[in-house]
Structure 1
Amino acid sequence: MSTHLKDTLDEVYTTFSSYPLPSEIDGCPCCVGKEDHYHIHSLPLRDLKDKELSKYAFKAMTTWGNVNDFKHFLPRILDLSACNELSVDLFVVLGKLEYGHWKTWPQNEQKAVVEFLKVWWEYAIKHTELLDFELLIELHKVLKQISEMLALWDLQPDKFGLLNFLTFIESYYPDMVDKEGENSDFSGEVVVDLKNWINSKKEDLENAFFKMEKENNDLAQRISKALYILEHT
């Protein structure tokens, strides 16, 4: 985890530290047992791991606890999610923000969440070799800032950003274009923004191809394939 990401995460912990852990959290007796209650009270917040927190993260506010309870655990849920250490699907984790009407929360809480999610995206796109593009999809649903997210995507040769861009073109772009926003993960307007940004990067791809042609033939071939897909999709 980078220093910048850690600092923004610390700010989330600080911002939500005003929500203490209640001695008891109401939960549906059919869904939440004594052992589950024990787990979330068994360790300090920053020491909770997937074993203790995953069930709560999945059931928060729907059948276990209220919004203030969720705010107590939110920093650790985001922490584990960003480190890929939480076994709860990202759409569930980030969907809890919408369920908890996070856009009505105090401005300092909203700001802390937004800043962390943006820095998380920037870190992931630059430092993850095989990025799961669910992160782009789900973060966009929360942030509604596709242009700002794309502006953070670095396509320098030999960087993970370029490799992730090639994977996106190979695995996601044709289907996205085919659906044109209908029944896709993005609205039609966002698909247009994505297509325009992607096509604006053709020159960067071409420059990367000529550089890698001499240094890394396998990567050069992937770049060539991506350019072909863009030209023929």
Structure 2
Amino acid sequence: MTKELEIAIKNLYETFSIYPFKSTMEGCACCVSDADKEKIHSKQLKDLNEGDLSRYAFKAMTTWGDTDDFKHYLPRIIELLATTDFIVDTFVVLGKLEYGKWQEWCDTEKIAVTNFLWAWWTDTTRNKPYFDKEAFTEIYKLTGEMEQLLNRWTISIEDNSFSNYVDLVYNYYNDLTGKRSEFREIDNSSVEKLIKWIKDNSKHLETGFFHFADKDSELAEKISTTQYIYEQT
């Protein structure tokens, strides 16, 4: 985890600590069982794990609790999303922000959420070995800032940012330059910015190939295929 992400998560806890724990929280009887309620009341907030919070993350605000309740649990849910293989999909968790009208929250809360999103994205590009399309798309939907997404993705052979780039081109470049069905939630002007960014960084493919040729034959082969895809599209 990057230091920036660590600080951003800490700030979320501090910012949303004004929303207290409720021993009772209204929920639809058909959707939320007593066992579900017991799980989120069983531990301190920072000790709740995926199993404790997964049901609530799905049901928050729609059939279980209100926006203030969601704000209480938000730091831990987001921390789990960023630091574990959280069983709740990214689009569900970040979609709850949109459902809760986070852009209408006070400035301090909006800034805390925004700082987390950017710190998490930077951490993702450096540490995940593949392009996280869901995180990329959902962060774009919440912020609308394609340039910031790309500016924070600094490609280096020394970390996974290069593997991320290779994976993006390998799996999605044809789609980006074609019907764009995989990126239909991103407007055309932003897609064009992404395509230009890919082209501007294509020089890394050749450099990366020679770097990994004797170190990781599987990755080198994928880089070679990726370069072919890029040049033929």
Partner of 1:16: 16
Specify the alignment match of 2:29 in structure 1. Answer: 29
Instruction: Provide the TM-score with structure 1 as the length reference.
Output: 0.92
Compare 24-33 and 168-177 and name the one that shifted more. Answer: 168-177
Pairing 1:1-233 to 2, within 5 Å after superposition: 1-180=1-180, 184-212=184-212, 218-233=218-233
* Cα distance in 2 for residues equivalent to 1:184 and 1:214: 38
CA positional deviation for 1:138 = 1.3
Shift of 1:183: 6.9
Partners of 2:152 and 2:182 lie apart in 1 by 26
Judge which range, 206-215 or 94-103, deviates more: 206-215
CA deviation digits over 1:93-147, x for unaligned, max 9?
Answer: 0000000000000000000000011101101110112343211111111122211
Percent identical residues: 39
How far residue 38 of structure 1 moved from its aligned partner, in angstroms, is: 1.2
Distance (Å, rounded) in 1 between the aligned partners of 2:191 and 2:82: 25
Distance 1:33 1:218, change over 3 A: closer
Distance 2:146 2:17 in 1: 30
Aligned residues: 233
C-alpha contact (below 8 Å) 1:2/1:123 kept by paired residues: yes
Shifted more, 33-42 versus 181-190: the winner is 181-190
**What's the C-alpha RMSD, in Å, of the aligned pairs?**
2.0
Mapped contact 1:157–1:212 kept (Cα < 8 A): no
Alpha-carbon distance between aligned partners in 1 of 2:215 and 2:222, rounded to the nearest angstrom: 13
Contact 1:49/1:86 (8 A) holds in 2? no
Q: Distance in 1 between matches of 2:171 and 2:71?
A: 36
1:213 & 1:37 partners in 2: Cα distance? 53
CA shift, 1:228, in A, is: 1.9
- Runs of 4+ in structure 1 deviating by more than 6 angstroms, as ranges, are none
Structure 2's unaligned 5+ residue stretches are none
Q: What is the rounded CA distance, in whole Å, between the counterparts of 1:200 and 1:81 in structure 2?
A: 31
* Unpaired runs of at least 5, structure 1: none
SS in 2 for 1:179: coil
TM-score, normalised by the number of residues in structure 2:
0.92
Evaluate the alpha carbon distance shift between residue 127 and residue 9 of structure 1 in structure 2; reply closer, same or farther with a 3 A threshold: same
- How many angstroms apart in 2 are the aligned matches of 1:222 and 1:46? 40
Describe the superposition over 1:170-219 as per-residue Cα deviations: whole angstroms up to 9, x where unpaired: 11221222114697242212211111111111223334345555766654
Q: SS where residue 225 of structure 1 aligns?
A: helix
Q: 1:80 to 1:156 in 2, by over 3 A?
A: same
